[in-house]
Structure 1
Amino acid sequence: MRDYLIAFLTTGAITFVLSWIVWKVAIRYRLHPEIRERDVHKTPTPRLGGIAMFFGLVAFFLISTQLPGFAIVWEQPIRMWALLAAAALMVVVGVADDLWDLDWMIKLGAQFAAAWIVVGIGGIQILFLPFGSQVVVSSWLSISLSILAIVIVMNAVNFIDGLDGLVAGVCLIANAVFFAYSALLARDFDNSPETNTAVFITVVLLGVCAGFLPFNWNPAKMFMGDAGALLLGLMMASSAIVVTGNLPPQLLADNDQFGRSQLIGAYIPMILPIVVVLLPLLDFGLAVIRRTAKGRSPFSPDRQHMHHRMLDMGHTDRNAVFVFYAWTAVVSLSVLLMYIGTTAGWPGLYLPGLAYLLIGGVACVLVTLPPSRRAARVASDTKASS
């Protein structure tokens, strides 16, 4: 755990310093695009934070090659270098889009290319799926599913990047939960290069998000742009695939602890990576349906994302961001509690997680309601009690 704390603090410090440098350069040379109709901010703001995030990540990747505690992560160096190569491609394309607004076909093609680098060269693939006692996926299906999953998560994360601190904070919470899950899995069942690589990626992403968030907090000095959002999506999808998609069937199906609940043992490792990015995936799905129903490209921009709707409901920028944080924490932590309850042999198995989900869900619904409606409800309850 000491090594991971060093990774978090070092990556966070490097990213913070680089963010300050990038921000100063961007302000000095006016490297910021004009405000678009769908934008929430009113002042031209640099969108080059992804550059600082990328080099913060790269810096600790390189540092980790000299640290004995991360030797297991570098047992298959091709996997790590493929991740960095794919990340570099996404950052270059993202920065170009942030500055010159590239055609969506170019961006999508680059995303598929980056995903292929991770899958085809790095070998990060979904090898098992949780059907029954988990089934082995054929090679062509493995490559196709893995590439598609990475592209979907990249776009999902990118789609919710519309409010100050939203993506950085949501990814901070999501990666913290996935870090805990991966670390527990590595400790209790599968201390392999795959699970340790997932833990390593998530803790580095935690540092990247924590180091950048001070510059992105409302009112933001700088945005991460497509470069940062696509980088986070790429790495989060890869970390999920490298651990979950490589869990051997016998590990979960035949394990004595998981044997108490085949449903939990078989499905939570696949559920958790999905729920930690549930809000981005939901927003992405709704945007695709909404736009295609109107005969438009699913990647054509509009002002009807979930965060836009929150603002239209009367929430302030910060309140809307906190609502997203709350939903992310409640949903992801509840599934993590189900996993812990199962592996720890609690009498109720996953009931503590379900209880947390129910109580937290009700609380989140209440804070999501339009402020005027909440105020009216509080006044009504006060009047009734008196």
Structure 2
Amino acid sequence: MILLILTFVVAMLLSIYGVPIARRAALKFGIVDNPDGRLKHQREPVPYLGGLAIYLAFLVSLAFTFEFRQDVLGIVLSGTLIVMLGLIDDFGVLSPGTKLAGQFLAVFVLIKSGIRIEIASLPDWVDVVLTVFWMIGIINAFNLLDIMDGLSAGVGVISAAFLCVVAILNGDQAIAFMLAALMGSLLGFLRYNWRPASIYMGDSGAMFIGLMLGALSMIGKYTTGHSVSLLTPVLILGMPIFDTLFVMYIRFLRGLPVFLGSPDHLAIRLRHWGLSVTQVVLLSYLGAALLGGIGLLVMAVPQDLAVVLSGVTVLCLAVAAVALTRVNVSTGTVAMSAEAVPARSTERTGVV
């Protein structure tokens, strides 16, 4: 446990040290997110490369504290590919198709390394299909969630914390150490990404979070008690999954491409409801924590109660989705209270 805490602390300190360096490099080379007056409303350009600092802090902290096994190396290699893909995409030179192909390549590396869903009652090819679907979905879910200062990184910390609890309960040191390193890296980054953000993680960071959490949740053990606990990783990662499904549904209704930026996210609709950015982010953290707690309960309780918990959760999410669909976002502006208008607004929307 001491070594696990050390991994977390080292990753956090490395991130706190490395993020300002990445910020200076991004400003020097012009790797910044410029306001466009349509979906990005920050009042001045904000540098990217936060994702690179997160990745390096994660990798170095593991190198200091944990031995790299084959499965760990497979996840690290896949994470490296996704970070490189994100860095290139942050320059705005990749088409959605090329970006998706790169994500498939990273997932292929995972599968080749033996990192995949394994359900005994299903044939291997179905497990592979489920693995690809799960990984591509989670990678893009965290990328879609990265629309407000501190949102994606904070939800990532909370989700990683619950998955780390599962790993500790199962005695899986490899998963626990990697999640501890990820939590530390993200917390260090949050010091600079909290509103008003001085740096963004960019696609490299958001996709890296998605890949790591998707892969580590996928290989955890959940079904020691009953099969319903297979829903535990879905619930722990429920906030980005719910946001993605909601956005896809709204864009489908509006006849828009799924990967086109638009103010359809849960967070943006909550802003139109009159909440400040800080309130929206904290409410999202609370939602992620509640879903994570329900995920742990589903593992711990008998099967019948787990079914009831899961059903009630889905029903509550459906009610929330219906309520949010009625929020009017057609004006293209966000309702702000006096407290919600800072000297330097860094809100942006629809970053895909």
What TM-score range do you get, normalising by the shorter chain? Answer: 0.7 to 0.9
1:90–1:114 CA contact under 8 A, matched in 2: yes
CA pair 342-7 structure 1, distance change in 2 beyond 3 A = farther
Q: Which one of the candidate residues 170, 174, 188 is aligned to 1:211?
A: 188
1:266 is aligned to 227
CA pair 117-350 structure 1, distance change in 2 beyond 3 A = closer
2:7–2:62 CA contact under 8 A, matched in 1: no
Higher helix share: 1
Give secondary structure in 2 for the equivalent of 1:80. helix
Partner Cα separation in structure 2 for residue 115 and residue 214 of structure 1: 30
Please give the residue correspondences for 1:174-253 in structure 2 after superposition, counting only pairs within 5 Å.
174-186=159-171, 195-244=172-221, 252=224
Deviation by residue 1:4-26 (Cα, 9 ceiling, x = unmatched): 10110011111111111111222
Deviation by residue 1:75-98 (Cα, 9 ceiling, x = unmatched): xx3322221221111111211222
Task: Give the length in aligned residue pairs.
Answer: 320
Structure 1 segments (4+ residues) deviating >4 Å: 340-343, 348-351
Give secondary structure in 2 for the equivalent of 1:127. coil
Q: Which runs of 5+ in 2 are unaligned?
A: 328-334, 336-352
1:384 is aligned to none
Query: Counterpart of 1:23 in structure 2: which amino acid?
Result: R
Partner Cα separation in structure 1 for residue 275 and residue 18 of structure 2: 32
2:145 is aligned to 160
1:49–1:228 CA contact under 8 A, matched in 2: yes
- For normalisation by structure 1, the TM-score amounts to 0.75
How far off is 1:291 after superposition?
2.9
Q: Which runs of 5+ in 1 are unaligned?
A: 65-69, 129-134, 187-194, 253-257, 259-264, 373-386
Structural RMSD (CA): 3.0
Deviation by residue 1:270-314 (Cα, 9 ceiling, x = unmatched): 222111221211121122233344444321221211111111111
Please give the residue correspondences for 1:83-162 in structure 2 after superposition, counting only pairs within 5 Å.
83-120=75-112, 122-128=113-119, 135-162=120-147
How far off is 1:340 after superposition?
4.2
The answer on 1:47 being equivalent to 2:48 is yes
1:40–1:163 CA contact under 8 A, matched in 2: no
How far off is 1:350 after superposition?
6.7
CA pair 335-145 structure 1, distance change in 2 beyond 3 A = closer
Query: Counterpart of 2:33 in structure 1: which amino acid?
Result: P
Partner Cα separation in structure 1 for residue 291 and residue 84 of structure 2: 33
- For normalisation by structure 2, the TM-score amounts to 0.82
Larger deviation, residues 301-310 vs 146-155: 301-310
